[in-house]
Amino acid sequence: MGLTLWRWVAGVTVGCGALAAALLPFPESVAERWTAVAPEPLAGEVRRLTADVGRTQAAVRAYRAATGLALWRSAVEHSDTMSVRIDQSVPRAIADGVRDVAAEQWRALGPASAANAQIFVYVDSTTVPRATTTATSRRPLEPRRFVDVSFVLPQATDGSRCVALVRLGGATPAHVDALRRQSLVGVCGFFAAFGLPGAGVRQWLEATDYRSARRSDWHVALAPAIDASAVYGIGATGGRCLTGEPGACLDVLGVGQPDTAARSVTSGSPTFVLDGLATVNAGDRARSRSELGNVEVELLMSAVREFGAERFGRFWRSETVPDAAFGSAHGVTLDTWTRQWLTRTFGALPSHPTVRLSYVVWVALAAPLLLVVAARPRERVLCEGWPSRDR
Task: Please indicate, yes or no, whether the overall pTM of this predicted structure exceeds 0.75.
Answer: no
Residue 71 lies in a domain: yes
Q: Average pLDDT over the chain, rounded to whole? A: 79
Same domain (yes/no): 231, 188: no
Same domain (yes/no): 183, 250: no
Residue 259 lies in a domain: yes
Q: What is the DSSP letter of 278?
A: -
Residue 346 confidence class, pLDDT cut points 50, 70, 90: confident
Residue 42 lies in a domain: no
Same domain (yes/no): 103, 223: no
Lowest mean pLDDT among 275-279, 301-305, 355-359: 275-279
Same domain (yes/no): 190, 256: no
Residue 33 lies in a domain: no
Structural domain span for residue 163: 50-128+143-195
The percent of residues in the chain predicted with pLDDT above 70, rounded, is 71
Residue 179 confidence class, pLDDT cut points 50, 70, 90: very high
CA distance 108 to 304: 13
Q: Distance from CA of residue 189 to its chain's centroid?
A: 20
Q: Which residues fall within 8 angstroms of residue 199, CB to CB, at 6 or more apart?
A: 319
pLDDT digits (tens, 9 = 90+) for 46-101: 888 888 888 888 888 888 889 999 999 888 776 677 899 999 999 999 999 999 99
Residue 369 lies in a domain: no
Q: Are 115 and 81 in contact (CB under 8 A)?
A: yes
Residue-wise burial string across 41-76, b where 16 or more C-beta atoms lie within 10 A, e elsewhere: eeeeeeeeeeeeeeeeebeebbebbbebbebbeeeb
Same domain (yes/no): 306, 191: no
Same domain (yes/no): 173, 233: no
Q: Distance from CA of residue 167 to its chain's centroid?
A: 26
Three-state SS letters, 301-364 = HHHHHHHCHHHHHHHHCCCCCHHHHHHHHHCCCHHHHHHHHHHHHHCCCCCCCCCCHHHHHHHH
**Burial of 91 (C-beta count, 10 Å sphere; 0-12/13-18/19+):** exposed
Q: Are 87 and 167 in contact (CB under 8 A)?
A: no
Amino acid letter for position 282: A
CA distance 329 to 308: 11
CA distance 188 to 195: 10
CA distance 62 to 284: 10
Residue 20 lies in a domain: no
CA distance 131 to 34: 35
Same domain (yes/no): 179, 251: no
Residue 25 confidence class, pLDDT cut points 50, 70, 90: low
| pLDDT at 35 exceeding the cut of 70 | no
Looking at residue 94, its pLDDT comes to 93
| pLDDT at 109 exceeding the cut of 80 | yes
Residue 41 confidence class, pLDDT cut points 50, 70, 90: confident
Q: What is the DSSP letter of 157?
A: T
Same domain (yes/no): 186, 238: no
Amino acid letter for position 74: S
Total structural domains within the chain: 2
Q: DSSP string of 67-132?
A: HHHHHHHHH--TT---SEEE-TTS-HHHHHHHHHHHHHHHHTTSS--TTSEEEEEEE-----BPP-
Same domain (yes/no): 90, 173: yes
Instruction: Give the end of a domain, one of 349, 369, 384.
Output: 349
CA distance 51 to 46: 9
Residue 265 confidence class, pLDDT cut points 50, 70, 90: very low
Residue 312 lies in a domain: yes
Size of the chain in residues: 391
Q: Which residues pair with 108 in a beta bridge?
A: none
Same domain (yes/no): 180, 226: no
Looking at residue 220, its pLDDT comes to 78
Same domain (yes/no): 205, 215: yes
Same domain (yes/no): 72, 175: yes
Looking at residue 236, its pLDDT comes to 82
